[in-house]
Amino acid sequence: MTIQQVEFLIIGGGPGGTPTAMALAAAGKSVMLVEKGQGLGGTCLFEGCIPSKIFRESARRLRELRESGQFGLCLPTQDVTVNWSAVLERKRTILQQRGEAALHKTGQLPTLKTVFGSCSLLDPRSAVIESEIGERVEVHFEKAILSTGSVPFLPPIKGSDHPRVYDSESILNIDHIPKRLVIIGGGPIGVELGQVFKTFGSEVSILETASRILGPVDEELGSHLQQRMTDDGIDIQTNCKVRAIVTTGQGVFVEYNIEGGEEQHKIADTVLMVTGRRPNVNGLGLEKTGVQHDAHGITVNATLETTEAGIYAVGDVTGQPMFAHWATAQGLALARHLMGQPVKFPTTETNTAVIFSEPEIGIAGLTEQQAKQAGLNVQVARYDYKQDARAQIAGCADGLLKIIFDTDSRRVVGVHILVEGAGELMGEAALLIKSGIPIEAVAAAIHPHPTLTESFVMAARNVMSQQTKQANSAAKNP
């Protein structure tokens, strides 16, 4: 076994570890990046964000073809079919291209060495790497960064080990479109894939343990989407407790109760369990260090240092929120900190997220309820996309924008959007919140017409107009 010495050992080459490694190496630091998977990019690239959105894009194109008549287009046939093998091949090609591009970028940095294999800590300053070809290397380091991501969490439901039961990662490699799909879990992944497979022709049911799907999402937007999904033919059952998954000659029965009522069941040929994710700490050798962790993740302080001095952690392995862009933001901030540069670490209050449902949901900052819980006096600027020119033109005028702002400081603290294309609006939302821009500045900004972005201006102007009317009324009736 050979021994190597580096300044930084980074375990995990996903959206947290890879940008961190590149930032440190670009500054001339000696870095070793170890990735256990098939390439750089982590779960997001190979088993999450990217492949699921490739499926969604195919579903979106299919839906557009089916709705082409309302745009004055007469297709030779309305009987559009899905070539699932071609969808999977397109996914494989994109993932390969992105993985190769990431490896090429890291290869441009002379002080960055990328190793594919498993890595386990031996003590607080050394680790052993077993490469994919069986070679073992002992690495001594000055500092380590843990960025091993997360893995699907499967609750102990009887029958969950059946071959027809998939998790959020394995479903992305399924070799056919299910005829009857039962999804256990009504979070973002369950909602996204439920709508995708419904568009592809599956009969879809969603069983959710809570009182509504998408629990953390603004309740008004979540309820609106749930009704939309129901109208589209997706069977959604809430307040469910799944008891067992039972094999039958026809497929599998999913047995469940609703709020302690009589046992019910749904028959399916495929079951998808999307019941959350857990930090991936198995095999890291944390027990040989002072790094503390629990089911929620590795414990870190304000600068992302663990309870073992000199060992840091970023991304999913530290717990919620679990987003690729959050891991990247943490990693880049940590890199600056480790290089002695001034930096403000990201805060959840300025984080953004997109649920790629149909229509999409965009989330930035605080909800109205969260803002009130934080002690803020807030008001909501609203805009209904039914009146929006661009949304009408696109045939996607079903949606709502809510801008949450503090009535004392006037700054925007939250933006929540339900509309197809919401994801492309979240960059502006992020800037509004991060910069603390007042609602009056939003109203004064000139946005192009006709675009979805002018909804920000319209919402701000609407609420300011209402405030002016209330002020005038109060002045007339003191």
Chain segment 29-64, per-residue pLDDT in tens: 999 999 999 899 999 999 999 999 999 999 999 999
Question: One of 104, 140, 337, 449 is an active-site residue; which one?
Answer: 449
Within a domain: residue 322? yes
Domain boundary at 311, 346, 381, which? Answer: 346
| 398: containing domain | 349-470
Segment among 234-238, 251-255, 464-468, 473-477 with least mean pLDDT: 473-477
CA–CA separation, 309 vs 425, rounded Å?
40
Within a domain: residue 378? yes
**What confidence score (pLDDT) does residue 465 get?**
85
- Per the prediction, the chain carries an average pLDDT of 95
Same domain, 265 and 285: no
Same domain, 6 and 136: yes
Within a domain: residue 169? yes
CA–CA separation, 384 vs 402, rounded Å?
9
Is the per-residue pLDDT at 469 higher than 80?
Answer: no
Cβ–Cβ < 8 Å for 213, 226: yes
Per-residue confidence at 473, pLDDT binned at 50, 70, 90?
low
Within a domain: residue 452? yes
Within a domain: residue 97? yes
Same domain, 286 and 170: no
Chain segment 188-201, per-residue pLDDT in tens: 999 999 999 999 99
**What confidence score (pLDDT) does residue 474 get?**
64
Global confidence as pTM: 0.94
Same domain, 355 and 439: yes
**What confidence score (pLDDT) does residue 475 get?**
67
The total number of structural domains that make up the chain = 3
Chain segment 91-101, per-residue pLDDT in tens: 999 999 999 99
3-state secondary structure of 371: helix
Same domain, 9 and 110: yes
**What confidence score (pLDDT) does residue 467 get?**
78
Which amino acid is present at 96?
Q
Same domain, 246 and 303: no
Same domain, 235 and 320: no
**What confidence score (pLDDT) does residue 427 get?**
96
Same domain, 312 and 301: yes
> CATH code at 411?
3.30.390.30
Active site residue 293: no
CA–CA separation, 11 vs 281, rounded Å?
11
Cβ–Cβ < 8 Å for 310, 125: yes
Domain boundary at 241, 275, 309, which? Answer: 275
What percentage of residues in the chain have a pLDDT greater than 90? 91
User: Across residues 132-157, what is the average pLDDT?
Assistant: 94
Q: Which residue has the higher pLDDT, 476 or 444?
A: 444
Chain segment 408-426, per-residue pLDDT in tens: 999 999 999 999 999 999 9
Chain segment 4-17, per-residue pLDDT in tens: 999 999 999 999 99
Within a domain: residue 235? yes
User: Could you give the angle at the alpha carbon of 317 between the alpha carbons of 188 and 337, nearest 5°?
Assistant: 115
Same domain, 85 and 179: no
CA–CA separation, 70 vs 230, rounded Å?
22
Within a domain: residue 63? yes
Within a domain: residue 328? yes
Is the per-residue pLDDT at 478 higher than 70?
Answer: no
Same domain, 127 and 249: no
Domain boundary at 346, 371, 387, which? Answer: 346
Same domain, 301 and 226: no
Is the per-residue pLDDT at 342 higher than 80?
Answer: yes
Chain segment 345-374, per-residue pLDDT in tens: 999 999 999 999 999 999 999 999 999 999
> CATH code at 237?
3.50.50.60
**What confidence score (pLDDT) does residue 259 get?**
87
Cβ–Cβ < 8 Å for 159, 252: yes
Is the per-residue pLDDT at 132 higher than 90?
Answer: no
The phi, psi pair for 247, rounded to 5°, reads -75, 140
Same domain, 42 and 133: yes
**What confidence score (pLDDT) does residue 471 get?**
66
CA–CA separation, 267 vs 269, rounded Å?
7
Give the residues across from 247 on adjacent strands: 252
